[in-house]
C-alpha cells in the first residue's frame, strides 16, 4: 500500500493579513472575490490554450499526414505489405501519445502559478506612480491582441511601462505621476485591483 506524501503538495497557509515587505511592497490575504478573479484568469488561460492547441493540432496533423504519406511511399519498397498496417498503427499511437503527453505537461506548467496563488492565499500590494494616461479607440485584450473599436474610447494608465484599462470616471480624476497601489497575485501576476 502506497502512502501519499502530503508534505510534497502545496499546503494552504494561514493567511497573513498585512505584512510589510519593503517601502513599496506589502503582502495581504486574498479576499474571496480576488480568489474568484484568479480562478477566472486561470479559466481564460485554459480556454486560450485549448483554442491554440486545436489550431496547432489541425495544422500539425495536415502537415504530419503529408510527411507520413511521403515517408510511407518511400518505406513501402522495403517493408513487406503484411507488416505495413501494424507499423503504421504503431507510429500513429506513438506520435499521438507524445503529443498528448507534451500538451498535458505544458498546460499543467501554465496553470501552476494560478494554483499556487490560490493555495497560498496571498496577494502583494505594490506602490508605484502613474507615468502616463491616454485614451484610444484600440482595445488591448488580455491575450495581447489589439482590437479597433467603433463604439468609442478606451482609457488607460501606464504604470511601470504596462498599460492598464480603467473607467472613464477614474480617467478624469487621476493625474500623471499620481501614486497608486496595485494589488496582484504574486506568482500568476493577475492584477486584482488598482487603488488610485
Query: What DSSP element (H or E) covers 164?
Result: strand 162-166
* pLDDT tens profile 20-42: 555 578 899 999 999 999 999 99
- pLDDT of 149: 60
Q: Which residue has better confidence, 167 or 35?
A: 35
- pLDDT of 37: 94
In total, the chain counts a number of residues equal to 196
Q: Which candidate, 196, 185, 186, places its Cα nearest to that of 36?
A: 185
Cell of 122: 496571498
Could you tell me if 163 and 146 are in contact, meaning their C-beta atoms sit under 8 angstroms apart? no
Q: Is 162 a residue whose pLDDT tops 50?
A: yes
Q: Which residue has better confidence, 107 or 100?
A: 107
Q: Is 147 a residue whose pLDDT tops 70?
A: no
Model pTM score:
0.68
Secondary structure letter of residue 6 according to DSSP: G
- Side-chain-side CA neighbours of residue 13 (13 Å): 13
Amino acid at each position: 500500500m502506497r502512502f501519499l506524501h502530503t508534505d510534497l503538495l502545496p499546503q494552504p497557509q494561514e493567511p497573513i493579513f498585512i505584512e510589510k515587505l519593503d517601502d513599496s511592497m506589502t503582502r495581504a490575504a486574498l479576499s474571496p472575490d480576488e480568489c474568484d478573479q484568479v480562478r477566472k484568469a486561470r479559466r481564460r488561460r485554459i480556454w486560450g490554450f485549448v483554442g491554440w492547441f486545436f489550431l496547432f493540432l489541425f495544422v500539425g496533423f495536415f502537415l504530419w499526414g503529408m510527411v507520413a504519406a511521403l515517408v510511407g511511399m518511400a518505406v513501402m519498397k522495403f517493408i513487406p505489405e503484411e507488416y505495413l498496417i501494424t507499423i503504421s498503427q504503431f507510429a500513429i499511437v506513438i506520435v499521438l501519445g507524445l503529443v498528448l503527453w507534451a500538451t498535458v505537461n505544458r498546460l499543467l506548467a501554465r496553470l501552476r502559478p494560478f494554483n499556487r496563488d490560490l493555495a497560498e492565499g496571498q496577494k502583494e500590494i505594490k506602490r508605484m506612480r502613474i507615468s502616463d494616461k491616454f485614451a484610444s479607440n484600440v482595445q488591448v485584450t488580455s491575450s495581447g491582441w489589439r482590437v479597433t473599436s467603433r463604439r468609442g474610447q478606451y482609457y488607460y494608465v501606464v504604470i511601470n511601462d504596462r498599460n492598464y484599462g480603467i473607467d472613464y470616471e477614474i480617467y478624469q480624476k487621476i493625474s500623471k505621476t499620481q501614486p497608486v497601489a496595485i494589488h496582484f497575485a504574486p506568482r500568476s501576476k493577475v492584477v486584482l485591483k488598482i487603488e488610485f
